[in-house]
Amino acid sequence: MARKKIALIGSGMIGGTLAHIAAREELGDVVLFDIAEGLPQGKGLDIAESTPVYNSSVDLKGANDYEGIAGADVCIVTAGVPRKPGMSRDDLLGINLKVMKAVGEGIKTHAPNAFVICITNPLDAMVWALQQFSGLPHNKVVGMAGVLDSSRFAYFLSEKTGVSVADIHAWTLGGHGDTMVPMVRHSTVGGLPLPQLVAQGWMTQEELDGIVDRTRKGGGEIVALLKTGSAYYAPAESAISMAKSYLKDQKRVVPAAAYCKGQFGVDGIYVGVPALIGADGVEKIVEFDLNDDEKGMFQNSVDAVNGLIDACKGIDGSL
Ligand code: TXD
C-alpha cells in the first residue's frame, strides 16, 4: 500500500510541530505548505534530516504552490495569524477569512478527496467558511478545538486529584471561545463523574469551578506567557489524534467542530460536539443528554458562533 500523504497548510508553529509528530509517528509523507518562501522547505528539510535517527521512512517536502498538496489524504489547516496578548480569537476573523478563501480554493482544486482538519481561529467560523470555499462534503471537513480544550481540562483535573491523565475522561463542547461548555456531569476521573468527586471530598465545588474557568481561558493563559503567539504543542497533538482516527479508521469519538444537521438542536453550522471519526470522516455525532443548565450554556455558545458566521457573510458576499 502506498504511503499516505499529509498536507500541512500553514507551516508556522503548529504546522512545524504537526510535521514533526507526523514524521515521528510515520503517518505518511508530509508536505508543508506556506506563503512564506523557504519556511516550509527549511522545516521540511530539518525534520527529514532527523528521520534516520528514529528510522522513520517518510518524505518531507516544502511548497509555496498548491500543486504541492496534490492528492493529499489529509489536509491540516493552520494558515493565518495567531493571537497576540490582548487579542481575542474573534479579532482574527477579517484576516483569516481571506486566508480560508485561498486555502479552500487550493484544496478544492488539488486535494478534493482529502479529510480536512481546520485549526485556524476563530475556529468554528473558519471551519464553516473553509467548507463553503472548498465545497468538500461536510463530513470531510472538521475543526479541531475540543480535543485541545478537553485535554487542558483533563490535565488540570489530573494535577488537582493526582489521578493519571490516562484515567481521566474530560469533555468540552460548544464553540472554541470563552463560551465553550466544559461538561462537568459527563467528565470522569477514575470513572467517577465530577459532581461525585466533589461529593466524595476529592476537591471542593469552588476548586472545580476554578478548573472549569481555567479551562475556558486556557488558550489565553498560554498567549499571556508566550507573548509572541499562541499554543502549539497541545494543538498539534490534538489534530494528529484526529488525523490518525481518520487514516487508521479508529472510529474514536472526540469533541470536534462538526457540521450539525439538527443534532443538539443545531442546524447548518459547525460547533464542538462528540464526533465519531473514521474512514468516512465524521461518521456520526454522539448526542449527550443535556440538562437545562447545559442546554443554556450550549445555546449561548451557538449564538456566539452564529454571530461570527454573520460577520463572515458581511465581509465576503460570496458566503
Ligand atoms: O484549538 C485551536 N483550534 C487553536 C487554534 C489553538 C491554538 C492556535 N490556533 C490558531 O491556529 C491560531 O489562532 C492561528 O489562527 C492558527 C495557527 O497558529 P500558529 O501558532 O501555527 O501560527 P503561525 O506560527 O503564525 O503560523 C501561521 C502560518 C505562518 O507561517 C504564515 O506564513 C502562514 O500561516 N500563512 C499562510 N499560509 C498559507 N496561505 C496563506 N494565505 C497564509 N497566510 C499566512
Name the residue of 8, 21, 35, 217 whose CB sits within 8 Å of the most ligand 1 atoms, as the mutation to test its pocket: 35
Query: Which residue, judged by its Cα, is nearest atom 23 of ligand 1?
Result: 12
Residues 73 and 5 sit within 8 Å (Cβ to Cβ)? yes
CA angle at 284 for the pair 213 and 313, rounded to the nearest 5°: 65
> Residue 64's pLDDT is what?
98
Query: Residue 177, SS3?
Result: coil
C-alpha grid cell for residue 94? 477579517
Nearest CA among 48, 52, 53 for reference residue 19: 48
Q: Alpha-carbon distance 266 to 261, whole Å?
A: 6
Nearest CA among 179, 212, 220 for reference residue 83: 220
pLDDT, tens digit (0-9, with 9 covering 90-100), for 208-260: 999 999 999 999 999 999 999 999 999 999 999 999 999 999 999 999 999 99
Q: Does residue 301's CB lie within 6 angstroms of at least one atom of ligand 1? A: no
pLDDT reading at 284 higher than 90: yes
Q: Alpha-carbon distance 287 to 301, whole Å?
A: 16
Whether ipTM > 0.95 holds is yes
Say which of 110, 138, 169, 176 is annotated catalytic.
176
What's the gap in Å between 235 CA and the centre of ligand 1?
A: 11
CA angle at 293 for the pair 288 and 295, rounded to the nearest 5°: 45
> Residue 178's pLDDT is what?
84
pLDDT reading at 302 higher than 90: yes
What value does the mean pLDDT take over residues 281-301? 96
Q: Does residue 281's CB lie within 6 angstroms of at least one atom of ligand 1? A: no
C-alpha grid cell for residue 28? 505518511
The set of residues, in sequence order, having a beta carbon less than 8 Å from that of 213 and lying 6+ positions away, is: none
Q: Does residue 12's CB lie within 6 angstroms of at least one atom of ligand 1? A: yes
Q: Does residue 10's CB lie within 6 angstroms of at least one atom of ligand 1? A: yes
What's the gap in Å between 232 CA and the centre of ligand 1?
A: 10
Q: Which uninterrupted H or E stretch holds 31?
A: strand 29-33
Q: Which atom of ligand 1 is nearest to the CA of 123?
A: 3
Q: Report yes or no on whether pTM surpasses 0.80.
A: yes
> Residue 295's pLDDT is what?
95
The string over 12-29, giving b where at least 16 C-beta atoms fall within 10 Å of a residue's C-beta and e elsewhere, is bbbbbbbbbbbbbeebbb
Q: Does residue 102's CB lie within 6 angstroms of at least one atom of ligand 1? A: yes
Nearest CA among 71, 75, 15 for reference residue 41: 15
What's the gap in Å between 96 CA and the centre of ligand 1?
A: 9
Burial (CB count <10 Å: 0-12, 13-18, 19+), residue 112: middle
pLDDT reading at 177 higher than 90: no
Reply yes or no on whether 20 is catalytic.
no
Q: Which atom of ligand 1 is nearest to the CA of 80?
A: 44
> Residue 74's pLDDT is what?
98
Q: Alpha-carbon distance 49 to 27, whole Å?
A: 17
Query: Which residue, judged by its Cα, is nearest atom 24 of ligand 1?
Result: 12
What is the share, in percent, of the chain residues with pLDDT greater than 90?
95
What's the gap in Å between 9 CA and the centre of ligand 1?
A: 9
Q: Does residue 100's CB lie within 6 angstroms of at least one atom of ligand 1? A: no
Q: Does residue 232's CB lie within 6 angstroms of at least one atom of ligand 1? A: yes
